[in-house]
Amino acid sequence: MAQSVFGSVAQPVSLPALPVVPLREILPYAVFGGLLLLLAIYFVGAEQGATSMFRGTMVHEFLHDGRHLLGFPCH
C-alpha cells in the first residue's frame, strides 16, 4: 500500500462492473427503433405529392420547418 501525504494508507478504489447485455436481448429494440426512424424519415422527407399517404397538405405543413432543417427541398 502507498502512503499518502497525510501519513495514512491509501485504499484502492474499486469501480463497479458494467453489466453485459447480449445482442439477442438488444436486437428487437434496435429493429423497432430502426422502423420508427424510417417512418419518421418518410413523413419528414417524402410525405407529399405522388407518394402521399394522406390527402391534403396537413402533414406537409406540420413538418415544414423540419424539412428545411434536415435539407429536404419542398418548394
Is the sign of the CA dihedral 64, 69, 70, 71 positive or negative?
A: positive
Report the amino acid identity of residue 10: A
pTM: predicted TM-score of the whole model, two decimal places: 0.52
Structural domain span for residue 37: 23-70
- pLDDT under 70 in the chain at which residues? 1-10, 47-60, 74-75
The tally of domains found in the chain comes to 1
Query: What pLDDT sits at residue 72?
Result: 74
Report if residue 52 sits inside a domain. Answer: yes
Report if residue 10 sits inside a domain. Answer: no
User: Among 40, 33, 45, which Cα is nearest to 69's?
Assistant: 45
Report if residue 53 sits inside a domain. Answer: yes
- Alpha-helical segments (H) within the chain: 23-45, 58-62, 64-70
